[in-house]
Amino acid sequence: MVPTDEPTDVPTEGGSAVPQTPFDESERLVWAGNAAAYEAGFAKLCAHPVPRLLDAARVRTGARVLDVGTGTGSVAAAAGARGARVAAVDAEPDMARRAARSVPGARVLVAALPQLPFTDGYFDAVVGNFVLNHVGRPRAALEELRRVTRPGGRIALTVWAAPAAPGQALLGRAVEAAGVPRPPSLPTLAPEEDFPRTPDGLAALLRGAGLAGVECVPLSWNHRTTAREWWSGPAAGVATIGRTVLSQGPAVAERIRRHFAVLAREFTDEDGALVLPHTALLASGRVAG
């Protein structure tokens, strides 16, 4: 955590607001007020890459670390446990409040990419666990991460791979089986902003932002959960899948749930647990200079 002799007011600066894309605005609505429901389910899945993410950023004792898109604070807490001096941001106030409670001593602010309230080159390492999945301008976001990282500092990021691994695709398959289209109120990323969710595609994105020594590797694992827990996220409206489910009304939501229950059987082991294969991409690079 931030030592008592380290200024807890991490240097910040203001600036005019950057216009948000329709995708960004949709993401704000998707995640609003959902911190508790996210923490109870999907956050457990997203925590899996955290040690590898911090290793890639070379987070160690005394390092000044920024966790972007901190969610409920799992990455920030793990960085603090390594003795790093931690700041964290999230675009959703509910997430930021929960992270601030779970990571005592860290500076946690509400902020959204591609504009961060920090001075140039302050951080030794910047990490973002699945944050690029939720921004409308990934290239501008990376440029901003580079701006706040010191020369020689490191940036490490994860995104979900595409095509999706079987476990990651389960909920979407249930929606498709129920004949439910993506609601028009949930825009997709603009084509000119998208990038291939492959090792080469993500690595190219980081190189395009001027990072040196870029590496990108796939991370695959089986997430163990229960059908009840896995359905609880969509049922509460968490993420795009949750907004899709809730937008259909109770009768259609129940139809989706029934399809989910059937499809989940292929991932259910003899103990009744769901074993869901997932694949993410972990990319890292160094700020030149």
Closest CA to 276 of 27, 17, 42, 18: 42
Tell me: pLDDT of 6 over 60: no
* Bridging pattern class, strands 274-287 and 211-225: antiparallel
How many whole angstroms separate alpha carbon 207 and alpha carbon 212? 7
Per-residue pLDDT of 185-202, as tens digits, reads: 899 999 999 999 999 999
Tell me: pLDDT of 11 over 80: no
Single-letter residue type at 73: G
Q: Taking the mean position of all CA atoms in its chain, how far away is CA 72?
A: 11
Per-residue pLDDT of 102-149, as tens digits, reads: 888 899 999 999 999 999 999 999 999 999 999 999 999 999 999 999
Q: What local confidence, expressed as pLDDT, does residue 104 receive? A: 84
How high does pLDDT run on average in the chain?
93
How many whole angstroms separate alpha carbon 238 and alpha carbon 232? 9
Per-residue pLDDT of 14-24, as tens digits, reads: 544 567 899 99
How many whole angstroms separate alpha carbon 41 and alpha carbon 43? 6
| Phi/psi at 208 (5° precision) | -65, -25
Q: What sections of 82-187 are H helices per DSSP?
A: 93-102, 138-147, 166-177
- The domain 22-162+188-221+280-287: what is its CATH number? 3.40.50.150
Give kind and range of the element (H or E) at residue 220.
strand 211-225
Tell me: pLDDT of 262 over 50: yes
Per-residue pLDDT of 37-86, as tens digits, reads: 999 999 999 999 999 999 999 999 999 999 999 999 999 999 999 999 99
Q: What local confidence, expressed as pLDDT, does residue 18 receive? A: 65
Domain ranges of the chain: 22-162+188-221+280-287
Name the residue with tokens 């309230």: 117
